[in-house]
Amino acid sequence: MARRKFVCGNWKMHRTRAEGRELVRALAPLVADAGDRVQIAIAPPFTALEAAAQALASPTGARIELAAQDCHWEPQGAFTGEVSPAMLADAGCVHCVVGHSERRQFFGETDEGVRKKAAALLKAGVLPIVCVGETLQEREAGRTLDVVSRQVRGALQGLAAADVALLTLAYEPVWAIGTGKTATTAQAQEVHAAIRKLLRELAGDAADRVRIQYGGSVKPDNAAELMAQPDVDGALVGGASLKAADFSQIVKGALR
Ligand code: PGA
């Protein structure tokens, strides 16, 4: 089944409001032509979401969707520092990244937390991008598929197949994030195919609809080859999404 490729830029903790607006204005015209064939999103920090949303409200910007980088699972309450899925929807977010390895590594994110966040997002009408991926140590110990399966099972537990179909998964080997080391196309395809197989086990034919992005040092010169793999349905891009020219090249790599 042909799945529309999906490329999302994860700005992480970068860009003020003014810088975000500037980046959106530079990016929008560069990807305007690709927007009907590739789904494109950017995930600015919370503080720049509104500025980015305003900058996207132009005829070319309309091709780019807004995403958040994380959320809490409750709709509201006494959770200092947190932002709810409903608040993200209100800010114009179509998507939200959950379970990013930096959250797992530095902020104690668990599979259970990822599951609750994904379910809460779906309830609020925001589409989750669920990140999974092994560390270098886990890869070297031959545990990649075990770790990734555990993370996928954890995130999907209790979800109906119709909800699973709405998810995007992002396979991001931790050793490839921000390191300049990209997984080879064969390494990426192997894990993506294993994830697809597991999805089929868990949710039947919905597996064919789930986009599985690759993430980890995606650059203009490796994006097209990675996304040409049968089970690589797009990219989650960190560093290179902060440069309009690089990100637009990566988006175009999805067209080949
Ligand atoms: P990177 O980050 O492209 O800078 O490696 C990817 C990510 O963390 O999503």
Instruction: Please say whether the beta carbons of 173 and 138 come within 8 A.
Output: no
Q: Which atom of ligand 1 is nearest to the CA of 102?
A: 8
Ligand 1 in reach of 218 Cβ (< 6 A): yes
Ligand 1 center to residue 22 CA distance, Å?
21
Q: Which of 14, 82, 18, 70 is nearest to 44 (CA)?
A: 14
Q: Give the span between the Cα atoms of 64 and 15, in whole angstroms.
A: 17
Ligand 1 center to residue 9 CA distance, Å?
9
Ligand 1 in reach of 238 Cβ (< 6 A): yes
Tens digits of residue pLDDT in 108-163: 999 999 999 999 999 999 999 999 999 999 999 999 999 999 999 999 999 999 99
User: Looking at the annotation, which residues are catalytic?
Assistant: 100, 172
* Residue 221 pLDDT greater than 80, yes or no: yes
Summarize the confidence of residues 157-172 as an average pLDDT. Answer: 96
What is the model's pLDDT at position 1? 65
Summarize the confidence of residues 213-222 as an average pLDDT. Answer: 97
Ligand 1 center to residue 78 CA distance, Å?
31
Q: Give the span between the Cα atoms of 204 and 202, in whole angstroms.
A: 6
DSSP 184: P
Q: Give the span between the Cα atoms of 189 and 145, in whole angstroms.
A: 12
Number of neighbouring beta carbons within 10 Å of residue 57: 11
Ligand 1 in reach of 239 Cβ (< 6 A): yes
Ligand 1: residue whose CA is nearest its atom 6: 238
User: For the purposes of burial, counting CB atoms within 10 Å of the CB of 15, is it exposed (0-12), middle (13-18) or buried (19 or more)?
Assistant: buried
Instruction: Please say whether the beta carbons of 202 and 164 come within 8 A.
Output: yes
Residue with tokens 């995606």: 218
Ligand 1 center to residue 170 CA distance, Å?
11
* Residue 183 pLDDT greater than 70, yes or no: yes
SS3 99: coil
Tens digits of residue pLDDT in 18-67: 999 999 999 999 999 998 899 999 999 999 999 999 999 987 777 899 99
